[in-house]
Amino acid sequence: MVRRGIGFLLAQLLIIELMREITWSIPEPIQDGYHESGILSQPYTSVSYYYLDAVTPEALKQQLRERGPTDFLGHRRDASTFWKVKWRWSAGSKGTKTDWSTLRCLYAVVVTLPRWVPVQPLDSTVQSRALQQEWRRFTKAIGMHEREHVAMIAKDHQQVCDAIRKAVAEDPTIDLVKADNIAERALEKLRKSDREFDIATDNGRTQGARFAGG
Ligand SMILES: [Zn+2]
């Protein structure tokens, strides 16, 4: 009983030691605010991450500037939301004629967000805790800003179909090239409101999406 007990105990200690080493070697992301922001549960929206591994506020800010996604002008941003709208219809029963009653507009979104996985565990100092709190606040604000982009396109993508339907109502013999041009113009309006939202909020900074560091 005693001998078996010692062997068992040694094995347990070895397992605990190994677990500690393994846990130590797999870095955990610092808790972010994305879940709270609602960005992770938007329909037709997938989220991708880019990674930061710094341990100091200055290096973290630097990595945000260097690693973030680029916008349509080629400028680095802390996060981005790209969307696409497609319009589809079926051919009419006689094969050639378009059946406009089947017109459908669909959208899909890809959101890119920063995730922070420090190369080494952070210490438990007050500064370190404050930095992690700031990360959570900042990422929640980012998530809420990007969620507004997503909400805009979820609501407004139907304007593309509305514009085509309006043109069809005015001219039922409208050809596909013309319909496509009308759709493109409607899309351009959506892109414009997207940009205006970013100008109005300074890319979310006026909504708190600005990392203050420690
Ligand atoms: Zn934005």
Using the mean position of ligand 1's atoms as its centre, give its distance from the Cα of residue 60 in Å. Answer: 21
Query: Which residues is 163 bridged to in the sheet?
Result: none
Cβ atoms 95, 126 nearer than 8 A: no
Using the mean position of ligand 1's atoms as its centre, give its distance from the Cα of residue 150 in Å. Answer: 10
Q: Tell me: the pLDDT tens digits for 50-62?
A: 999 999 999 999 9
Using the mean position of ligand 1's atoms as its centre, give its distance from the Cα of residue 117 in Å. Answer: 24
Q: Tell me: the pLDDT tens digits for 170-195?
A: 998 898 899 999 999 999 999 999 99
Q: HEC profile for 98-113?
A: EEEEEEEEEEEEEEEE
Average pLDDT over residues 74-79: 93
Q: What count of other Cβ atoms lies within 10 Å of the Cβ of residue 77?
A: 19
Using the mean position of ligand 1's atoms as its centre, give its distance from the Cα of residue 39 in Å. Answer: 13
Residue 4 has what pLDDT? 64
CA dist., res. 203 & res. 144, Å (int): 12
Domain ranges of the chain: 29-207
CA dist., res. 22 & res. 25, Å (int): 5
Residue 131 has what pLDDT? 94
Using the mean position of ligand 1's atoms as its centre, give its distance from the Cα of residue 1 in Å. Answer: 67
